[in-house]
Amino acid sequence: MRQTIITLCCIIYSITLHAQTKVSTAFSDHMVLQQQTNVSLWGWDNADQKVSIKTTWGEKLKTVTNNEGKWEVKIPTPNGNFKPHEIIVKGSSSVHLKDILIGEVWLASGQSNMQMPLWGYVNQPVLYAKEAISMANRSSGIRILQVERKPSDTEVDEVDGKWEVCTAQSIGKFSAVAYFFGNQLYRQLNVPIGLIHASRGGTKAECWIKKEEVKTLSNYKEPSKKAGPNRTPSVFYNNMIHPLVGYTIKGVIWYQGEANRKEYAYYPEVMEKLIGSWKEEWNQGDFSFYMVEIAPFAYGNPKDDTAAKLRESQLKIANKMHNVGLVSTADLGDVSYIHPSKKKKIGERLSYLALTNDYKVGGFNFRSPQFDKTEIFKNSIKVYFKDTANGITSFSKKIRGFEIAGEDKKYYPAEAKIVKGQKAVMLQSSEVSQPKYVRYGFKNYHQANLKSVAGLPVFPFRTDTLEKQEQ
């Protein structure tokens, strides 16, 4: 008899526990919803349960859960504004979400350079962090969601993290790049900004791709049992990205690549798969995806140039894919630290892409110059650049970073002079009588210093592979 009563109590408790209206943990008090669109909102309840949704900006919706108890609606959102809103969801019980802002939402992901918080790493500072943190209380219209950095072997439905208001107490532990990016948008657009941060130091790009997708890569291999999570495909996608899929965003900023540098030739395929699969899963169109070039760093071996080749692959991806951009860090590296301290400049450069491409704020040069073509003379070679409206400059300093070679591809440092009135430099070296090839900043660590007049660094490049690519 006693056992029967206990069993009945357990059954009743189980039913009562299940009979609750739930909203995905991606949604919580203090969140930002994307403005001027139909945002997704979803959750769970009993199967075939009627669910109603009401917002304080005037939307009323009804739906019914499916056989598995999931419900989802699309809610029209107004123009961005700083008025706090609320959402009430009623099913078998009710959920009341408060202090909701309408504005712009961006997802930030990658490895340790995206993870690096405003207060820095041990013995590795972030410049201008003290000023940013001390002024954060003035940016309460910026809201942040930090996803817990955990791997999972299977896809997880719920986000481990909660939305917070940007304050001096909350922002120090948040991604410096993401904050500086978001703060620039906040100042320029004058609407609330939502920043979702899901990154993990040391991870390869494959860790962030859905299992079914990553297995289609040409170089895919089943991970060994000894492989750590940072080298295991899909495990951070499962726990940190999958629960976010569907949360309506404007775009993605991505800072990763160091962990993939030894597979530089394979990296374009990996990133095309990652970007393409994310856009397909989100099912909200061709949103923007902005990457950060890995910064100059020595990596220990002076003969190693795999980081230079990884940067080359990053630029190929950006030039090939639609709505994908890349910002250069060619002037921000540190020979001793893989985490450059000038995160503010990186965040701001990412914002220039977004402000121009996504928000149509014009009037300034937002791209780094790229190599265009060469013109060979008897004992010199001229290099032309594109994506630089007012030309190039070294800001009155001696130009560094150029090397030239003849047919034998033996490179020597080159003297460089800007050609007056042209977007070009003339190169020559006493060691190369008949120059044919050029390299610029094409080392793991370099101090190349050519920029656009707007102050954006020229992307590193080499020309000795162009003939092979053109065949």
Q: Is the pLDDT of residue 470 over 60?
A: no
Measured on CA atoms in the order 151, 153, 155, 158, is the torsion positive or negative?
A: negative
Reported as a pLDDT band with limits 50, 70 and 90, residue 249 is very high
Burial class (CB in 10 A: 0-12, 13-18, 19+), 209: buried
For tokens 């013995």, the residue is 123
pLDDT of residue 16: 43
On whether the CB atoms of residues 292 and 180 are closer than 8 A, the answer is no
Amino acid at 311: R
pTM score of the predicted model:
0.94
pLDDT of residue 278: 98
For the stretch 371-394, pLDDT in tens is 999 999 999 999 999 999 899 999
Reported as a pLDDT band with limits 50, 70 and 90, residue 6 is very low
pLDDT of residue 226: 87
Name the percent of the chain in helix, strand, coil, to the closest 5: 25, 30, 45
Amino acid at 369: P
Q: What is the arithmetic mean of pLDDT over 405-422?
A: 97
Q: Is the pLDDT of residue 54 over 50?
A: yes
Reported as a pLDDT band with limits 50, 70 and 90, residue 3 is low
For the stretch 63-106, pLDDT in tens is 999 999 999 999 999 999 999 999 999 999 999 999 999 999 99
Q: What is the helix (H) or strand (E) element at residue 318, kind and residue range?
A: helix 306-320
Q: What is the arithmetic mean of pLDDT over 439-460?
A: 97
pLDDT of residue 303: 87
Q: Is the pLDDT of residue 7 over 80?
A: no
Q: What is the arithmetic mean of pLDDT over 350-374?
A: 95
222-226, 349-353, 445-449: least confidently modelled range:
222-226
Share of the chain above pLDDT 90, in %: 92
Residue 176 contacts by C-beta under 8 Å, 6 or more apart in sequence? 116, 117, 118, 120, 126, 129, 343, 344, 347
Length of the chain: 471
pLDDT of residue 466: 63
Q: How far apart are CA 258 and CA 307, in angstroms?
A: 7
Q: What is the arithmetic mean of pLDDT over 320-330?
A: 98
pLDDT of residue 311: 98
**Closest alpha carbon to 53 in 83, 23, 78, 33:** 23
On whether the CB atoms of residues 290 and 254 are closer than 8 A, the answer is yes
SS3 429: strand
SS3 334: coil
On whether the CB atoms of residues 173 and 120 are closer than 8 A, the answer is no
Q: Is the pLDDT of residue 4 over 90?
A: no
Q: What is the arithmetic mean of pLDDT over 167-177?
A: 97
On whether the CB atoms of residues 464 and 439 are closer than 8 A, the answer is yes
For the stretch 230-240, pLDDT in tens is 999 999 999 99
Q: Is the pLDDT of residue 227 over 50?
A: yes
Reported as a pLDDT band with limits 50, 70 and 90, residue 131 is very high
Domains of the chain as residue ranges with CATH: 19-101 (2.60.40.10), 102-357 (3.40.50.1110), 370-470 (2.60.40)
Q: What is the arithmetic mean of pLDDT over 275-299?
A: 97
pLDDT of residue 13: 40
Q: How far apart are CA 427 and CA 411, in angstroms?
A: 13
pLDDT of residue 19: 61
Q: Is the pLDDT of residue 152 over 50?
A: yes
Higher-pLDDT residue of 281 and 362 is 281
Q: In what order do the strands lie in the sheet with 381-386?
A: 370-376, 381-386, 424-428, 415-418
Burial class (CB in 10 A: 0-12, 13-18, 19+), 431: middle
Q: How far apart are CA 71 and CA 47, in angstroms?
A: 9
